Chain A
């Protein structure tokens, strides 16, 4: 595995991919015009991105495998998806729609497991907490909502509870632009940025507002420092503000005291920020199509990565499997067809399955195996079992032949044995007879 930076833009510039250490550019994945927060890597296995609305085409989500530049799988969801995120294992893909609905798909089968009304307006960003148990969504209606996954799948509690979400924070007056989540799963803090020029810090556990920090410009991106003493906020004025979380604001009259510094490079608006924990670097994507890599300690630009002319609106740092031999994989994939999972379904399945089958089994492959390593949900296993039972499929026939072959070998062996025994007996009898004759 190697750590790479991937970035996409709202105008078609493809998905750029760079080595974080050296800055060398890898393969560029073609034809991607993603909305903000619409690019994600699914369990390090492949890339997925929702696509910006185009009048001609319908809504779509696309998959790219790591070693091929072209789109491999196209999915057509029910409506335009703005924000897209996968949990860290890549079992689920969650998309936030233009109407405010949130969709949850199972990656392996492409089934739409849940769809629910998350917000009144378009969902602008989605984030999982570090332990994947909680989903945080931000919307154009200015609200930030916290969803516990267990609640979303628990039909019984869903009926009992008056609302589906755990918390709904509606203090922002304008659309939420970005959300950053700290460590600690359900006890983490989250930072939400909004077009109302504020960033607000919330406690997931208590469900309360901890801080309200007013900035001199609209904040489009936030990134938390791993130490969680400060966070970075990328403004539309091209500056990256450094804000202290624990600043003493009790005595202060102005909220600007929270801002303890800024990184400025006279660029255009900062559109996305991400923090690399392993390299201790801050990456900022800008409206001018550049990705600036900052050393947060010295406030210097370490490297500049050129993406395209259009604004960069997504940057992710992901681990990418090493490509052992590109030619081999290319040929192999040609032979096998696509190695990626099937496209996502448009509607939820209406097939009633027995209750016992509802539970999901996800077999997580060892990290440096590719997708064709076993990764199945119960449904897939079910199907295979059924197939075997009915012996209808080619695979089943194959297995039958194998079995018969094995049988025939066994039978031949037994035949050999019998033959030998018969020979022995014959010899013995002849000998006995001859002896008798002698006597």
Chain B
């Protein structure tokens, strides 16, 4: 426009007044002044919906190249085939692009739900597959409730659809929803149950096809299994016990559940007769046809399961509230009794194959379960009860079982359901019925496989039945049988099935705890000791010990088995022996070792162990305990390197404290004196000897209670022990407080205590050492001269060093000074024997330096004598003479 304006201005300038413009021929006329420019200018041309390839490059498409939007549109297409294809396409799309589903799930569901009522069967089936395979699993993580509520309206609509197929399919859809989102049942329970009831009422019209009926019924069974009562049970069982609950808090009231329950209860009351009549319709079928086809069997089983679930729901309510009238309709119970249970058992008309037999068995079992659940509320007549009892008994005995292994296993699983009911059932029975059932139960318990769940179930049943009235003589015999089998079971289980072992031990413990003192049961429990012994260890004829499963089991189980010991009315000495053997195994956990001592001490205080047995247990423990693993009998530097050493020290301490708590120390001492002395004298490793000495010191008092005879025995043992100590922990010039000095002190301390209490013992020991030196001073044979000399010198060394350490202890010094005369003679002996002896031997030594050290020690000890026994100048002279001689000789040698 602007341009045209400009040109007109130019023309006005040029022309004067009405000047004619000449135009040449063949020329185009210029456009009129008011012409509109129709030209359109653009840089690119966009044409929507033209090129397929370029357009969908970035979008998610199905195999056929359709986007989600298109597919959704197609689902409401009038052509059934297109709808089906669309559903298939979506399945494909979601498989490829799962995130597509995530982002559009509401849109998808909103569109898809319309198809629930689709008239076409294939489309519905397709939808079912689509929901099952991709949509519902895909939406599992996030908030499902809004999604489900979107669908539910359509499902309910479909449930009341005129078309029967649509209706049935709706139940199938609901079943699917329940599987993925169980809470949806409790939200819509009333409506759902109503719908189920309606369709089952008219099943003769709609459900001619057994397959469809089966689907519906299994859906119902699944719904019912979500009933509050049943759900609660599972809920409790998995958070049983160990759950961390808040300590001080009020139990939150659950009004939701009770209100919800009232509605459901009414509906369930209505649905029960329908189910029963549904089941009855199958009865003629059984009687007419010889074979039970798989579909009807499945239907019947589902019906029975549903009935059972409903019954359980009611029974649990009755248990909880105590009054039954409100929920359990009298009419309903009579229907149940007459129509369902009255027809028990279902028997085939003629002989059938194993497989069919199995089917009948399973059905009968299901009815039995219903009976057992409901028996509390419906008060069955005696005749009916008898029939059931007979069946249970047969089932337990495993009669009619003549099938392959797999079938047997299947039956086992069925029978497993029965076991928990047996204790309750037994408590209601008397006489023959009771003993019959008990016999069957016991047989099943004894025969079933070790690791089968049946065994565990039986054990739980036994535990319950042990708490029954004890005056019942029938039961008592069986109880005895069970108890006597338990230790065997424990041994058979070995360490392969720890959880089973644990439950057996737990049961054993319960038996011990619950048997009254001096009752038959406690006697029986006492008898198990003989077999339980093998659980710990057995002494074989050739003197070796074979260890039972105890050592190999876990710590918890070991502790449990130790706890069982407490409840034996009288712990046998043989059992104690086998426990002691197990206790000194190095692989036993220290914790368990201490637990054993602790529990035995408690048992002793409660009067379950003889004092002699108890003390000998300790002596065995202390004398046989191996501080060092086999074949490494060298002295170790400290406790840290030999953890067993530290353990043994604390064992010694614990045993001593147990002994001191035993009561009359005098009596204990009298019992133990001989045994301990025997053990000490019998060449034990020094750790064990030290432990026993400590035990002796703990029991003994000041002045000593040891008899003259035992002092003499002890003096022999002690002199040997002292020499051993000097050998094992040689004395170096180490600072006081170092590990070695401490260790030496630990070994020597009990001896010093003994010396303090009995100076005579000290005298004897010193004497003995003197005589040992004298014995060494015999002429040497020429063959193994040097070896022999070496050995003698090292022994000499040990004697002198142990004497020295005795002198150094201030308390012992005091005692020594009391027995001056004795000491004097001994030192005289030492001087007269030792010095020349050394001089004789010195030339054969490899290492004169060691000797030098010894001489130094000697000098020290002589110096000590010099201080204490100032009586004899002669002595002094002798000593110094000897010492100087030694020195001189050494100098010569070193030169």
Interface on A for B, CB 8 Å cutoff? 99-100, 120-121, 140-143, 170, 173-175, 189, 195-197, 201, 203, 205-206, 208-212, 218, 228, 245-246, 248-250
Q: How far is the CB of A255 from chain B (nearest CB, A)?
A: 11
**Contact for B606 among A140, A205, A245, A248, CB less than 8 A:** A140
Q: How far is the CB of A407 from chain B (nearest CB, A)?
A: 63
Q: Does B704 contact A (CB under 8 A)?
A: no
**Contact for A141 among B247, B514, B595, CB less than 8 A:** B514
Q: Does B464 contact A (CB under 8 A)?
A: no
A190 to B244, CA, bound (A): 16
**Contact for A120 among B246, B514, B559, CB less than 8 A:** B514
Nearest CB in chain B to that of A268: its residue: B657
Nearest CB in chain A to that of B563: its residue: A173
Other CB < 8 Å A-B pairs besides A195-B602, A246-B247, 5 of them?
A: A121-B516, A141-B514, A206-B251, A228-B247, A249-B244
A-B residue pairs, 4 tightest by C-beta: A173-B563, A141-B513, A250-B244, A120-B514
Contact flag A100-B599 (CB < 8 Å), given A173-B509, A175-B566, A210-B247: no
Q: Does B19 contact A (CB under 8 A)?
A: no
| B244–A120 CB distance below 8 A | no
| A142–B247 CB distance below 8 A | no
Q: Does B397 contact A (CB under 8 A)?
A: no
| A121–B513 CB distance below 8 A | yes
Chain B residues with Cβ under 8 A from A140's Cβ?
Answer: 606
A382 to B81, CA, bound (A): 99
Selected A-B contacts with CB under 8 Å, 22 pairs: A99-B516, A99-B517, A120-B513, A120-B516, A121-B516, A141-B513, A141-B514, A173-B509, A175-B602, A189-B248, A195-B602, A196-B563, A201-B247, A203-B245, A210-B245, A210-B247, A218-B602, A228-B247, A228-B248, A245-B247, A248-B244, A250-B244
A248 to B246, CA, bound (A): 10
Q: Which B residues between 505 and 529 are near A, CB-CB below 8 angstroms?
A: 509-510, 513-517
Q: How far is the CB of A312 from chain B (nearest CB, A)?
A: 15
**Contact for B602 among A99, A120, A174, CB less than 8 A:** A174
**Contact for A189 among B247, B515, B559, B566, CB less than 8 A:** B247
Chain B residues with Cβ under 8 A from A196's Cβ?
Answer: 559, 563
Chain A residues with Cβ under 8 A from B599's Cβ?
Answer: 174, 195
Chain A residues with Cβ under 8 A from B85's Cβ?
Answer: none
Chain A residues with Cβ under 8 A from B830's Cβ?
Answer: none
Chain A residues with Cβ under 8 A from B247's Cβ?
Answer: 189, 201, 210-211, 228, 245-246
A218 to B245, CA, bound (A): 25
A228 to B247, CA, bound (A): 10
Chain B residues with Cβ under 8 A from A206's Cβ?
Answer: 251
Chain B residues with Cβ under 8 A from A170's Cβ?
Answer: 510, 513
Q: Which B residues between 250 and 308 are near A, CB-CB below 8 angstroms?
A: 251
Output the residue of B244, B246, B510 with the most chain A CB within 10 A.
Answer: B244
Q: Does B241 contact A (CB under 8 A)?
A: yes
Q: Does B698 contact A (CB under 8 A)?
A: no
Q: How far is the CB of A272 from chain B (nearest CB, A)?
A: 16
Q: How far is the CB of B237 from chain A (nearest CB, A)?
A: 14
Chain B residues with Cβ under 8 A from A211's Cβ?
Answer: 247
| B517–A218 CB distance below 8 A | no
Q: Does B415 contact A (CB under 8 A)?
A: no
Chain A residues with Cβ under 8 A from B244's Cβ?
Answer: 248-250
Q: Does B724 contact A (CB under 8 A)?
A: no
Chain B residues with Cβ under 8 A from A197's Cβ?
Answer: 595
Output the residue of A142, A143, A245 with the most chain B CB within 10 A.
Answer: A142
Q: Does B560 contact A (CB under 8 A)?
A: yes
Output the residue of A120, A197, A206 with the most chain B CB within 10 A.
Answer: A120
Q: Does B598 contact A (CB under 8 A)?
A: yes
Chain A residues with Cβ under 8 A from B514's Cβ?
Answer: 120, 141
A248 to B566, CA, bound (A): 33
A206 to B236, CA, bound (A): 13
Chain A residues with Cβ under 8 A from B563's Cβ?
Answer: 173-174, 196
Q: How far is the CB of B458 from chain A (nearest CB, A)?
A: 20
A173 to B598, CA, bound (A): 14
We find that the number of chain B residues with CB closer than 8 angstroms to chain A is 25
Nearest CB in chain B to that of A248: its residue: B244
A175 to B601, CA, bound (A): 13
A212 to B241, CA, bound (A): 10
Nearest CB in chain A to that of B505: its residue: A173
Chain A residues with Cβ under 8 A from B245's Cβ?
Answer: 203, 208, 210
Chain A residues with Cβ under 8 A from B510's Cβ?
Answer: 170
Nearest CB in chain A to that of B510: its residue: A170
Nearest CB in chain B to that of A182: its residue: B248
Chain A residues with Cβ under 8 A from B513's Cβ?
Answer: 120-121, 141-143, 170
A393 to B234, CA, bound (A): 70
Question: 0/1 per residue, B599-610, Cβ < 8 Å to A?
Answer: 100100010000
**Contact for A174 among B246, B248, B566, CB less than 8 A:** B566
Q: Which B residues between 476 and 522 are near A, CB-CB below 8 angstroms?
A: 509-510, 513-517
Chain B residues with Cβ under 8 A from A141's Cβ?
Answer: 513-514, 567
Q: Which B residues between 594 and 625 are near A, CB-CB below 8 angstroms?
A: 595, 598-599, 602, 606
Chain A residues with Cβ under 8 A from B516's Cβ?
Answer: 99-100, 120-121
Q: How far is the CB of B86 from chain A (nearest CB, A)?
A: 50
| A218–B598 CB distance below 8 A | yes
| A121–B517 CB distance below 8 A | yes
A206 to B249, CA, bound (A): 11
A248 to B247, CA, bound (A): 11
Chain B residues with Cβ under 8 A from A195's Cβ?
Answer: 566, 598-599, 602
A212 to B244, CA, bound (A): 10
Q: How far is the CB of B625 from chain A (nearest CB, A)?
A: 22
Chain B residues with Cβ under 8 A from A143's Cβ?
Answer: 513
Nearest CB in chain A to that of B516: its residue: A120
| A120–B248 CB distance below 8 A | no
Q: How far is the CB of B433 from chain A (nearest CB, A)?
A: 21
Q: How far is the CB of B52 from chain A (nearest CB, A)?
A: 58
Chain B residues with Cβ under 8 A from A121's Cβ?
Answer: 513, 516-517
Q: How far is the CB of B565 from chain A (nearest CB, A)?
A: 10
Q: How far is the CB of A75 from chain B (nearest CB, A)?
A: 24
Nearest CB in chain A to that of B564: its residue: A173
Q: Which B residues between 332 and 366 are near A, CB-CB below 8 angstroms?
A: none
A171 to B515, CA, bound (A): 16
Q: How far is the CB of A222 from chain B (nearest CB, A)?
A: 15
A121 to B509, CA, bound (A): 13
Output the residue of A121, A218, A248 with the most chain B CB within 10 A.
Answer: A121
Chain A residues with Cβ under 8 A from B242's Cβ?
Answer: 212
Q: How far is the CB of A201 from chain B (nearest CB, A)?
A: 7
Question: 0/1 per residue, B547-563, Cβ < 8 Å to A?
Answer: 00000000000011001
**Contact for B241 among A209, A249, A250, CB less than 8 A:** A209
Nearest CB in chain B to that of A99: its residue: B517
Q: Which B residues between 74 and 96 are near A, CB-CB below 8 angstroms?
A: none
Chain B residues with Cβ under 8 A from A142's Cβ?
Answer: 513
Chain B residues with Cβ under 8 A from A201's Cβ?
Answer: 247
Contact flag A120-B515 (CB < 8 Å), given A174-B602, A195-B602, A211-B247: yes
Chain B residues with Cβ under 8 A from A205's Cβ?
Answer: 251
Chain A residues with Cβ under 8 A from B595's Cβ?
Answer: 197
Chain B residues with Cβ under 8 A from A249's Cβ?
Answer: 244
Chain B residues with Cβ under 8 A from A228's Cβ?
Answer: 247-248
Question: 0/1 per residue, B577-602, Cβ < 8 Å to A?
Answer: 00000000000000000010011001
Chain B residues with Cβ under 8 A from A120's Cβ?
Answer: 513-516
Chain A residues with Cβ under 8 A from B598's Cβ?
Answer: 195, 218
A416 to B746, CA, bound (A): 106
Q: How far is the CB of A96 from chain B (nearest CB, A)?
A: 14
A174 to B602, CA, bound (A): 9
Q: How far is the CB of B172 from chain A (nearest CB, A)?
A: 42
Q: How far is the CB of B252 from chain A (nearest CB, A)?
A: 12
Nearest CB in chain A to that of B241: its residue: A209
Question: 0/1 per residue, B814-844, Cβ < 8 Å to A?
Answer: 0000000000000000000000000000000
Chain A residues with Cβ under 8 A from B246's Cβ?
Answer: 246
Q: How far is the CB of B708 from chain A (nearest CB, A)?
A: 32
Chain A residues with Cβ under 8 A from B559's Cβ?
Answer: 173, 196
